[in-house]
Structure 1
């Protein structure tokens, strides 16, 4: 099974889990569809958004219950029965109420007693739909707006409840109160941007706590209606979050649990000496680290999750890299990796070939002419798109067997990664081609063989991500092996699962791999300080998911990522450089320039052998 198929299978499993978890979350009554009838599809849009509360304004006009905000906007056919009661009965007939329960809030705009006198017999026609103690799966009817005095609530049928809007007090007929609602502007002037002033927040929280002490849910009207506000109200315990855009609000709150992640353990960072940083030392060793899918948001999320400190963000020489492929504005990892490995733009899915399909030399092949040893380390399969760009030449990244065959006849001296199963029929050939296949990372670092290979034991993605030390240990072992060869070397290290986190819209996967990658970066930074003729370059092949970072709590190590895509994007990615001639990598340039800058330094200090 190649790297792409492995990712696809895991993606399908995770997607199924997300669907179940997300649907379960959506069942909880979190959304109040305010003035629902104003929407393009009254009732059904809110119902399909799993709103827990749906509001319809009602005007008694000429003996009929009309759904409208004021007399002037009345439409002849828009009666309460036509727009709400009949659709609810239809939903019941279709069996749709079994999986979703909600309350219907009838906001009376005309005289309470007169309107209720007409409403009662109308509701009686649909009596089997409504909630009572003997029909606990029914829909709650909640009267809001103009209401009779509190002391009269018990005079109404057992299926009619009320929206209480006074201050919490003793001796309320709690059995007839469905929820408590308040004008948000009486407690705060917050418009939903930034955060609430603390004093106002405390005032809002106080009324929430008072209502909850009564055992009742709470809603605010006139509250800001945007993601920042939805998150804040959710965190404060608002039971029905007021919104005029129920689908977006439900979608956001449904995804919020998996879009928010708190790291279990932060790691200490390495503080570099900077002694050789940007200096004109002869370049002997070149280490290229690729965070697959790693954009500014991914780095920012890792930074916040790790207490506002990363190894990566200690580096001072920074550039921005354009990632477009030859045939598309948005690259895939094959074309992106090939641009870094060969200095040539190519088509998506191509590995180590021109757009026409012609073979083009990669860094391991070019550098071998100058006496460099080379290696690749990845948290993906060795045949994955990014690592294979440094040894293979194929017109399709899915030609796994052909890519594996290319490994038999390549210039690499070392490989570390997953995917042993894909090489089962080539293990003997790998050894014949000179690779000593060892059983542990420690044996990689201690190997005296000319060439060494190590396949990390297969594991599911959760175990792989949780193994925070793998990439760091693999990088350390690779450095030990290559250093012992007493010749210049090139090493590529890939943190592949940042990309998977983006494809899955999983904050956990993205952040954990970002931190795993950063641990490996710290290992290399230490090596650069100990070997001042070394150049470290850290970049990405592309950004994945169009991620943004709307919320973080640095003290708690908690972040929320908002995903705008399940795919790659064409945004520029950052590049960080450290060590000899690191200053040459500042600026804005094409991804192909990384290869060319590396080769120019090699040509400056080395002669072909």
Structure 2
């Protein structure tokens, strides 16, 4: 009987760890209080850009990616306040507009890519880059969203959910104002130039649409991290290189990686870095906290470029200094 009880307890623990790979903890901690005055993104009253610029002034960027960012009480701004240098939106093309939501039944008229992300980013960057006289001697290099690190690019990951080509071409159409102002990262005549925003296509985004212009582009691909060997993915056409943790490495029992998993991870990270890509594993555990923190710590130590997180407040307080020496 004692053995059966122990076995049942272990099964429950295993099922719990399995479950958290697909369900996140979206409590944003103290950020809720700080951001309360901004209102709800996507509502009739958008967050005041001046206030947004003020509360971002002392934010130190950290290598985290805000997973399913649009689920937060205040999309985009909560992640930026935590210092995340990547944010993510699931995008659906419906009636010639782009809506943001986890599934089609969750789409609402006031939650669009434009209202939740593109318009607020335009506001922030316009505040950060006021028009200046070229003869004044002031640098015209565009500043990013983080005042403490103005050269840091913010990756805007678009997870396309509807028809790939049509949806991503609509994305390119809607980001045109950012491109015209020189605020998007580009590939131009053989050279990649990072700008304040790096647009990354994922999900159903077709690679051939991203690279259809061989000499100039202002969007990049989310390359499969576990399929880089002998591939054509590199920094001229891709920015992220991502894969699900379990898909790439198998089950990480109770947050502890086996030696074979560490070796496989090292190979994948090396392949990504040789190609100039930012490696990211998604579908990380969010609970129990001890399991989550153990996985986070290992990924940071091994050199993952962006930590895919649901609890951005916890990520802001993680120890980002413990990294393996090369």
Range of TM-score over shorter length: 0.5 to 0.7
Which segment drifts farther, 113-122 or 35-44?
Answer: 113-122
State yes or no: 1:113 paired with 2:165. yes
State yes or no: 1:159 paired with 2:211. no
**Equivalent of residue 278 in structure 2, options 175, 199, 217:** 217
Q: 2:61: which partner in 1?
A: 27
State yes or no: 1:94 paired with 2:127. yes
CA distance in 1, matches of 2:255, 2:201: 34
Q: 5+ unaligned residues in a row in structure 2: which ranges?
A: 1-57, 129-143, 287-291
Aligned residues: 231
**Equivalent of residue 71 in structure 1, options 100, 104, 115:** 104
CA distance in 2, matches of 1:116, 1:137: 20
Q: 1:140: which partner in 2?
A: 198
**Equivalent of residue 246 in structure 1, options 295, 300, 312:** 312
Q: How does 1:44-83 map to 2 (within 5 A)?
A: 44-83=77-116
CA RMSD of aligned residues (A): 2.4
Contact 2:65 2:307 in 1 (8 A): yes
Alignment deviations for residues 111-163 of structure 1 (CA, whole Å, 9 cap, x no partner): 11111232221111332231225863321000011121x34432156211110
Alignment deviations for residues 204-233 of structure 1 (CA, whole Å, 9 cap, x no partner): 222222222222110011122422221110
CA distance in 2, matches of 1:194, 1:74: 34
Q: 2:140: which partner in 1?
A: none
CA distance in 2, matches of 1:120, 1:27: 26
Report the 3-state secondary structure (helix = DSSP H, G, I; strand = E; otherwise coil) of the residue aligned with 2:89.
strand
The Cα shift of 1:180 comes to 0.6
CA distance in 2, matches of 1:155, 1:246: 35
Name the larger-Rg structure: 1
Q: 2:256: which partner in 1?
A: 195
- Structure 1 segments of 4 or more deviating over 4 A? none
Relative to the length of structure 1, the TM-score reads 0.36
The Cα shift of 1:93 comes to 2.4
Q: 1:418: which partner in 2?
A: none
State yes or no: 1:123 paired with 2:164. no
The Cα shift of 1:188 comes to 2.5
Q: 2:228: which partner in 1?
A: 168
Relative to the length of structure 2, the TM-score reads 0.65
The Cα shift of 1:171 comes to 5.4
The Cα shift of 1:194 comes to 4.8
Q: 1:207: which partner in 2?
A: 268
CA distance in 2, matches of 1:133, 1:212: 18
**Equivalent of residue 72 in structure 2, options 3, 15, 39:** 39
Alignment deviations for residues 538-592 of structure 1 (CA, whole Å, 9 cap, x no partner): xxxxxxxxxxxxxxxxxxxxxxxxxxxxxxxxxxxxxxxxxxxxxxxxxxxxxxx
Provide closer, same or farther for how the CA distance between residues 77 and 194 of structure 1 changes in structure 2, counting only shifts above 3 A. closer
Report the 3-state secondary structure (helix = DSSP H, G, I; strand = E; otherwise coil) of the residue aligned with 1:202.
helix
CA distance in 2, matches of 1:62, 1:133: 31
Q: 1:369: which partner in 2?
A: none
Q: 5+ unaligned residues in a row in structure 1: which ranges?
A: 1-22, 261-609
The Cα shift of 1:46 comes to 0.5
The Cα shift of 1:200 comes to 2.2
The Cα shift of 1:98 comes to 5.1
CA distance in 1, matches of 2:174, 2:218: 13
Provide closer, same or farther for how the CA distance between residues 64 and 177 of structure 1 changes in structure 2, counting only shifts above 3 A. same
Report the 3-state secondary structure (helix = DSSP H, G, I; strand = E; otherwise coil) of the residue aligned with 1:125.
helix
Contact 2:186 2:194 in 1 (8 A): yes
Contact 2:255 2:295 in 1 (8 A): no
Provide closer, same or farther for how the CA distance between residues 161 and 133 of structure 1 changes in structure 2, counting only shifts above 3 A. closer
Alignment deviations for residues 212-270 of structure 1 (CA, whole Å, 9 cap, x no partner): 222211001112242222111000110011111112112213xx53xx7xxxxxxxxxx
